[in-house]
Amino acid sequence: MSESMVNVVADIGGTNIRLGISDEQGKISELEVFQCNDFASLADVLKHYFSEKAITGKSINACLAIACPVENDLISMTNLPWQFSKSALKATLSLNKLLLINDYTAIAHAVPFLSDEQKVQIGQGSVAADKPIAICGPGTGLGVAHVVPANGQWLSLGGEGGHVDFAPVDEDETRILAYLLSKYPRVSYEQVLSGLGLEQIYQALMFDKGEAPQPYSAKDISERALNESCDVCQQALAQFCKILGSFAGNLALTMAAFGGVYIAGGIVPRFIEYFKSSEFRSRFEAKGRFVEFNKTIPTFVITESQPGIIGASAYLRQHNTEEL
């Protein structure tokens, strides 16, 4: 890669955008984090970063991991009011190359390269080499992706798995579903496994008690649960972990994910010790005749703070080296 060529990688979520510069070995430098709400458009924040790093005018290859579907030229972000054309963005910024991938496609590409220091195992199970891996992550939304081995490389299988129908497995969850169906015509897993989801579980539990909920944020609920200052917050967080276990167990079954199921997103890493002792793993394994199947599959929480950036860099190296 010539000195005038610059590889820019980004991880764009519903709240933050992380930007960095990747070298040929995948090492990330010049990492910056910006608040999406501080900018009117993606082009604006990229122009700001290019100017700040004095790379405007250089030949720039960009791989952007973004929290929404990326198949079409017109991109509309799911949890942010940004809309843009891929071709227009490339022209506006005078990019040499523009690759857009789903944010969980990026995380999927990062997972095979995570060290033991960048993840924490929850429960039993051992990683089987060269087997499918599943990833899900509660955050602003609920991201889902898979990565499978293919000809000595890794092939990501994207999708919108966070928007599949929420399926309750006990009476408490049935009541939560009933509450949410009074608000929405359809309830997906994202409505219970996200920041908003934790809030809505709390609201449903309060409704079931016949009491008005407090205006707690997801952070408020988790903090009150962990310091044991609110019984309903404790119930909400416990229920959140159980539902996440059931959902992650479904991903394990769907892809025979003997390479492991990984929990990403910004929520769970805040309370890993609590998560270890929660019913997440028991729910993950509670699959009827397939209990033994899921028992062998390991589960992890990703503790690396920038998996999307790592994955965007890996994607750029794996798929575009010959073009760069």
Q: Which residues pair with 101 in a beta bridge?
A: 65
Q: Is 14 annotated as a binding residue?
A: yes
- Rounded distance between C-alpha atoms, residue 70 and residue 142, angstroms: 16
Nearest residue to 266 via CA among 219, 228, 199? 219
Specify burial of residue 186 (Cβ count, 10 A radius: 0-12, 13-18, 19+): exposed
- Rounded distance between C-alpha atoms, residue 143 and residue 103, angstroms: 8
Nearest residue to 239 via CA among 176, 182, 293? 176
- Rounded distance between C-alpha atoms, residue 246 and residue 282, angstroms: 9
CB under 8 Å to 16, separation ≥6 — which residues? 33, 34, 35, 36
Unique residue bearing structure tokens 């159980």: 242
Nearest residue to 245 via CA among 141, 169, 302? 169
Q: Is 12 annotated as a binding residue?
A: yes
Side chain identity, residue 250: N
**115 Cα distance to chain centroid:** 18
Q: Is 13 annotated as a binding residue?
A: yes
Give, as one character, the DSSP assignment of residue 214: P
Detail the residues annotated as belonging to a binding site: 10-15
Detail the residues annotated as belonging to a binding site for ATP: 10-15
